[in-house]
Homo-oligomer: A and B are copies of this chain.
Amino acid sequence: MEPESAPPFGDMPADEFRTYGLAFVDWIVRYFDEINSIPVLSEVRPGDIRNQLPKAPPASGEGMEAILADLNRVIMPGMTHWNHPNFHAYFSITGSAPGVLAEMVSAAFNVNCMLWKTCPAATELEQTTLDWLRQMLGLPEDFWGIIYDTASISTMHAIAAAREQLTDLNIREQGLAGRPEVPRLRIYASEQAHSSVDKSVIALGLGLNALRKIPVDEKFQMRPEALTKAIAEDRKGGWRPFCAVATVGTTSTTSIDPVAEIADICAREDLWLHVDAAYGGSAAVVPEMRHVLDGCERADSLVVNPHKWLFVPVDLSVFYTRKPDVLKRAFSLVPEYLKTQEDGEVENYMDYGLQLGRRFRALKLWFVLRYFGVEGIARRIRRHIELAQAFAGWVDEDSDFERMAPTPFSTICFRAHPAGWADEDELNRLNEKLLAQVNATREVFMSHTKLGESYVLRLAIGNIRTEARHIEKAWKILKDKLSELCKPGGKHDTRN
């Protein structure tokens, strides 16, 4: 062996870590301070960042000074700033300061919370914080929780548990293929449900055809009578219905499916009811919004994402189920080298999922819940909803704009519709161009969706820094850009 004193073997020296730790804290302080005044969107073109990076890794170590400099010089210009108060695309999220502090600690701990034994504190903090969150959302005591990385993974596990519940088919052992006794399985979700349901049925070997999309009403909510009808048709057609996914806060319009009615149907038809409340669920922390989860107390499982609207940095998705035993039956599989003395008396979270590796994510939930408190979180979410209602009011009152969906949470679906414009295709082109020009300012970032044949703009509010002035700015930019497009020559342009 080489003598230990010779070349460096260990980690960064303590004094250097301290120096750069402080430098990065200051960097983040500045970032959070300046984020109000920098553009939310980057102006780089594809390849711009890559072309500035060496084609090969450095043979020798470089100093942190060089890395920090390149963070500023190369990376920053290519960032889309999700933590920006004028980030209104998709869903607006927040990596809050207490969450950032927790992630520092979590990275230093670097534990894998697969077993109780491999980090008792992480397992028990996960149990505790998920019970806190359950209380905050008004969910029943028998909702057992686990943290996954994303709602996509939570939903995949929900459907896997629903599938496992078909005990007569023994799918865990025997699978779905080449078995004449296994019927085609059917799962239901509204046509507004998230694409993660589609991706889950692909992954689970059910196939996209197994997912039957149920029509929605004019408020983009699943029509329960259509669900009932679909199930009846399917049974007649030889399908075996086994699961329904209801959504509280769909991704396009944030519509809320009638969960209580869907729960009735699921109870009658013996279907697993999974509720995707990844976005909307957090609103239930606000007492007067608690009703958005009405009916969810009867769900078999529910996902809510604290990394969406609870100020927790990505990634942290919470999965609740009243049937953890079914989930465990689907996924538990303990190789010899992971057996521990405490197996009988503790929760080993690895038993409940596909992923063996589990970061210490409960820490950031704990920091955030404690730092802001239930009332502090509720106050901020309430504020977002108020801001959104104000914006919806401006849209409603302006003859050049129209709202395209109800606004039950803090995301507004709307479009420009100036007087005299009737052709849907032209309106679509106008709005597409409007969005492009609004985002080209880089001052705000909005996104779009399609509702029916209409191209619709979406403004989502959910960042902790977003105040009335940011919404006012977004509205002003929209108005100004629309005027430019519609002034003589402008409107003409959009028709090309």
Contacts and interface: CB of A to CB of B under 8 A. Distances in A.
A180 B184 CA distance: 11
A38 interface: no
Nearest to A85: B10
A252 B342 CA distance: 21
A311 B76 CA distance: 24
A421 to B, nearest CB: 21
Nearest to A339: B448
Nearest to A98: B12
Contacts of A390: 1
A375 interface: yes
22 contacts: A9-B467, A12-B98, A24-B101, A25-B25, A28-B104, A57-B132, A58-B374, A60-B373, A61-B371, A74-B121, A76-B121, A79-B119, A80-B119, A100-B104, A100-B108, A175-B185, A176-B207, A177-B184, A203-B203, A317-B357, A337-B447, A337-B449
A337 B383 CA distance: 25
A176 B202 CA distance: 10
A422 interface: no
Contact of A178 (B49, B57, B103, B183): B183
A441 interface: no
Contacts of A118: 80, 82, 89-90
Q: Report the copy number of this chain in the oligomer.
A: 2
A354 interface: yes
A160 interface: yes
A337 B128 contact: no
B24 A11 contact: no
Nearest to A335: B195
A209 B18 contact: no
A198 to B, nearest CB: 5
A85 B62 CA distance: 25
